[in-house]
Amino acid sequence: MEHSFPILPTISTSCIVISAVLVGYGWYLIRQRNVEAHKKVMLSAASFALLFFIIYISRTLFIGNTSFGGPESIRIYYTIFLIFHIFLAAVGAVFGIVTILSGLKNNLIRHKRLGPITSVVWFCTAVTGVAVYLLLYVFYRGGETTSMIKAILGF
Ligand code: HEM
């Protein structure tokens, strides 16, 4: 069931994509000098990122992570790519928090330095995230799904 209709991964991947689109729009807005709209749109982008994170963590705890179901010969490349994506997401999250705080505190020197970097990292996170989703569920059927809790408690 989980494999043929991966509803949670589809929702969470959509959240990253929506978040990245909002960051692009927020960047456009600040180029128009529209500070209030920039702030609103960037905070919505952060909410979608947070929603992604909540879904992802709940899934990891209660349902589990799905292993790669494609050919063994390319599994290593998938794994390296997945680690690269997770690395981008982690960097994006930390930079995102610092960028938001600098914006809210009106620390514009730091904010103007970080804003573009955070945005580009977040775009790359979204693109690699969609690629991971496609590799895991669309191009190949997902492998086994093992929950952390199931694995630990054995049911
Ligand atoms: C509460 C949240 C935020 C507030 C209040 C805020 C506020 C501002 C302000 C006032 C500027 C204009 C700075 C200036 O031209 O002197 C700015 C620029 C910018 N912000 Fe934000 N911002 C927020 C969140 C974000 C986030 C989350 C990102 C990226 C993910 C971001 C990316 C940018 C970028 C790319 C610029 C343009 C920098 C440049 O002109 O080179 N902002 N922000």
pLDDT at 3: 47
**Residue 5 confidence (pLDDT):** 53
DSSP 15: H
Cβ–ligand 1 contact at 104 (below 6 Å): yes
Which fold would CATH assign to domain 7-153?
Four Helix Bundle (Hemerythrin (Met), subunit A) (1.20.120)
- pLDDT at residue 132, as a whole number: 95
- pLDDT for 60 equals 86
Q: How far is CA 120 from CA 20, 43, 109, in A?
A: 9, 17, 18
Return the pLDDT at 43: 98
pLDDT of residue 152: 58
Distance CA(57)–CA(52), nearest Å, equals 9
Instruction: Give pLDDT < 50 ranges for the chain.
Output: 1-3
Q: Can you tell me the distance from the alpha carbon of 58 to that of 24, in angstroms, rounded to the nearest whole number?
A: 28
Distance 129 CA to ligand 1 centre (A): 24
Q: Please give the distance, rounded to the nearest whole angstrom, from the Cα atom of residue 35 to the centre of ligand 1.
A: 8
Q: Which pLDDT tens digit goes with each residue over 57-74?
A: 998 888 888 888 899 999
pLDDT of 149 reads 61
